[in-house]
Every structure is written in structure tokens, then in C-alpha cells.
Chains A and B, each alone.
Chain A
Amino acid sequence: TQLLEQSPQFLSIQEGENLTVYCNSSSVFSSLQWYRQEPGEGPVLLVTVVTGGEVKKLKRLTFQFGDARKDSSLHITAAQPGDTGLYLCAGGLMDSSYKLIFGSGTRLLVRP
């Protein structure tokens, strides 16, 4: 059972366009993290959100954690070719487990 649904799976856009990636779940998460992964490398942490309704900005990237802590979104403004990569959301469950549940990822290609 996939606890964290991430969409879209693939996104190919022109440089300068805006985009939004979504992560949705029926489960409540204690925290949610967004990572970006380059081919052959490990995921690199972009942001951690822990409070329902929280919004964090990282230059052109805006991250939002849903009020109920079941969903999150990543919005990129004026995408650049350097934003190309695999974006992963990962949620920490509210139970006593000590693991992250990962979404399936969004593969983003920004064309010059």
C-alpha cells in the first residue's frame, strides 16, 4: 500500500514556467521532508516542515504542509534547467515507527 501519493510522476516544462508537485496521503505525518536527487547520487534534503499549515520558502521554491498534516506541495517559480532532477517527498509517521515513507517521486525536466 502506497501511503504517500506523489504527482505528477513526470513533468517536462520550458525554462521560466512555474510548476507544482503534490504529495497526498490519508495518513497524518509528524513531519514531511522534500528531497532532490540527481542520477547516481543520494537524496539531498531541501526542507523539513513539521507544523500544519506551515509554509517555507527557499529562493524560488515554496513548500507547504497541509493543515491536517496529510499533504504537502512544492511550488517552483520561474523554473531553470538547474532545477532538473527527481523530487521526493517523505513523511514521518505519527506512530512509534522510526522510518520515512517516500512518495514515488516526480521527475522534472526543465528545457532551456
Chain B
Amino acid sequence: KAGVTQTPRYLIKTRGQQVTLSCSPISGHRSVSWYQQTPGQGLQFLFEYFSETQRNKGNFPGRFSGRQFSNSRSEMNVSTLELGDSALYLCASSLAAGTAGNTIYFGEGSWLTVV
């Protein structure tokens, strides 16, 4: 069974640009969540989607947004990029929403460098 797939794996953007990252969850998984990982802050929750609805959002500015499609695939977008947005962006999927006894699997991540 294929795991969580994220594209692109690596990208470099310039300050002020915008970026879209894509995530395909494990087949049959309906919940997709996004995390940002940096050396200083560790893993920080961005948002979670279930059945095309955003269920929860972390403490990130409005420049960070996302969406989920009817096939459960998800995209996240960051507009007006800043140097501090350089990070590993991780997508995770699970069968259902919520975390009680719900195993969450991560993709390999998209490395974003803002210059």
C-alpha cells in the first residue's frame, strides 16, 4: 500500500513569491494534516482537513492556507513568502479525523527554501 506522497520534494523560492505544496494521502484515508518543521521550533501543527472541511488550524498567519479535494488529496499554499518560512513541510494522513487511537502517517516532506 503506497504511503503518503508529497510533491515537490525540494524547491527554492524568492521572498514575496507564493508556493503550493501537494499531498496524496494513503488510499482510504480521509484526514490530511499539515505540519511545519524547523530546527528552532520543531514540529508545529498547521491545519487538518477531513471530508474537504478544515477541522482545526494552528497558530500561523493567514498567509498559510490549505484545501482538500473530494478524492482526499490536499494542497497547502503559502503566499508572500518570508525567509522564516524556510522549513520542511510535512503532510500526514489518517483514516478518520481526531487523534484518539487514530494512527497518523507522515509523508517524506517538502523542503522549502526561501531566498
Contacts and interface: CB of A to CB of B under 8 A. Distances in A.
B109 interface: yes
B106 interface: yes
Interface residues of B, number: 31
Nearest to B107: A42
* Main secondary structure on B side of the interface with A: strand
A42 B33 CA distance: 13
B51 to A, nearest CB: 12
A31 B106 contact: no
B108 interface: yes
A48 interface: yes
Interface string B53-92: 0011010000000000000000000000000000010101
Given A42-B106, A43-B90, A43-B106, A99 B100 contact: no
Interface of B: 4, 6, 31, 33, 35, 42-45, 48, 50, 55-56, 58, 88, 90, 92, 97-109, 111
